[in-house]
Structure 1
Amino acid sequence: MIVRTALPLVAEHGAAVTTAQVARAAGIGEATVFRVFADKEELLSACVAEALRTDHVLGEIAAIPLEQPLAERLVEVASAMEAYLGRMGRVLGALHASGHRGAGGGRAEVLMTRLRGAAGGPGAPARSDADSSDSGPAMSDREAAQRRTSAAVAELFEPERDSLRLPPETLATIFLAMLFSRTRSAGDDLSPTVEQFVDVFLHGALGGQPR
């Protein structure tokens, strides 16, 4: 509950957020915060971990009815993924902008480069020197999250498997890579809507029947 309350405050204030602000928003005493977390740094680390979690968005994807037309399924998954990436980006971006360099969430600028990896697919950036200190288990966790996300999206293609040009797993990888590119440019004048993005993904750029 404390972390859920702290997340929007961290997204707004970055590392400048105070435990007193969090306590007031949660309707608890500040001492209660310190009974759960050793210090503010530990709370910020918990917020970063929560922002990076994929289980919430995976639950949303799993709840998409397979009876819906494929286009509607893909619009729903795109909207869910973009909301997840947006939440993550706001938290990590605010920490980065406020100069946070502490443990757990300190390398927010490095974590920001992993937004693409969280979306799954081959578009994840190569690891930089700043990533070289990552532990093996942490990398395995990220790779496992990517695989789960890709598998969840692949399930949405299964009802049409017999009419697909590529296997569902391959299409899920392509879809997520394209979706991340759209998310990065969201807000630009030329950025397509989610519906336009899905339509072009399914039907291509050319109108009419192929010759």
Structure 2
Amino acid sequence: MSKTTVSEKAGRASPLSVEDRQDMILDAITPLLLEHGQAVTTRQIAECAGIAEGTIFRAFGTKEELINAAVERRLDPEPFRAGLREVDLDMPLEERIRTIVALLQERFTLVFNLMMALGRRGGPPPQEERREFGEIMARALAPDLERLSVSPERAAQVIRMVTLAASVPHLNDAEISTDEITSIILYGIAGRPAETTISVSTDSPTN
């Protein structure tokens, strides 16, 4: 009987931890949930993740627990907050706003599509969470205070509201691009306020 050499042992991959196995499965399930919703099967998930079907039940217990974990992961605001904090303050204002819009659009679109596919309804983020998002975005806009017609906090609120409205699938007949949203936020639909001419009479009022 042949003996396993030290080099052969060293070449074997270490078994995955429970956390690593769960992460691998969660990475695989999101696109399947978007396509199949609640009807996705554990067999489809296993094939996508490249694992045995039984591994799913050892990692999560039931399919429902797995789906709930996937939703919770996508709703976690921390990766989004981290992306906002990484916005380069040395970029031009236009590019900073575009980066923020892209981050918001990606998050809103994924969450809406996922909840719709699963037939679930979700409420707005807690007020404290929205306030924190606004503060982070306001810091990203602060270097250009002289160019803003509103406070950075108000600008952050407008950016969030416009991007949210543009990202809700059933409210829009056609996809609105990141560049379009950014342009609307920066310049509106007219580009600048219309100039008005006020005629001032120099005649004395008639008594």
- Normalising by structure 1, report the TM-score: 0.71
Q: How far, CA to CA, are the matches of 2:167 and 2:109 in structure 1?
A: 8
Cα separation, partners in 2 of 1:23 and 1:193, compared to 1, 3 Å:
closer
1:95 is displaced (CA, Å) by 0.8
Question: What is the count of residue pairs matched by the alignment?
Answer: 171
**1:206 and 2:153 are equivalent in the alignment:** no
- The residue number in structure 2 matching 1:74 is 97
Unaligned runs of 5+ in 1: 97-107, 119-141
Aligned match for 1:14, one of 37, 49, 70: 37
Q: After superposition, what is the alpha-carbon deviation per residue over 1:97-135, rounded to whole angstroms, capped at 9, x for unaligned?
A: xxxxxxxxxxx1x21xx3xx35xxxxxxxxxxxxxxxxx
- The residue number in structure 1 matching 2:112 is 89
Unaligned runs of 5+ in 2: 1-22, 196-207
Extract structure 1 runs of 4+ deviating beyond 6 A.
none
Q: How does 1:147-186 map to 2 (within 5 A)?
A: 147-184=131-168
Q: Kindly, what percent of the aligned residue pairs are identical?
A: 26
**1:48 and 2:33 are equivalent in the alignment:** no
- The residue number in structure 2 matching 1:102 is none
- Normalising by structure 2, report the TM-score: 0.73
- The residue number in structure 2 matching 1:145 is 129
Q: How far, CA to CA, are the matches of 2:150 and 2:35 in structure 1?
A: 42
Q: How far, CA to CA, are the matches of 1:47 and 1:26 in structure 2?
A: 14
Q: How far, CA to CA, are the matches of 1:62 and 1:86 in structure 2?
A: 20
8 Å Cα contact 2:80/2:103 also seen in 1: yes
Q: How far, CA to CA, are the matches of 1:51 and 1:10 in structure 2?
A: 12
Q: How does 1:121-140 map to 2 (within 5 A)?
A: none
8 Å Cα contact 2:105/2:178 also seen in 1: no
Q: Which one has a bigger Cα radius of gyration? A: 2
1:94 is displaced (CA, Å) by 1.0
1:163 is displaced (CA, Å) by 4.1
Root-mean-square deviation (Å): 2.2
Q: How far, CA to CA, are the matches of 2:53 and 2:176 in structure 1?
A: 45
- The residue number in structure 2 matching 1:188 is 173
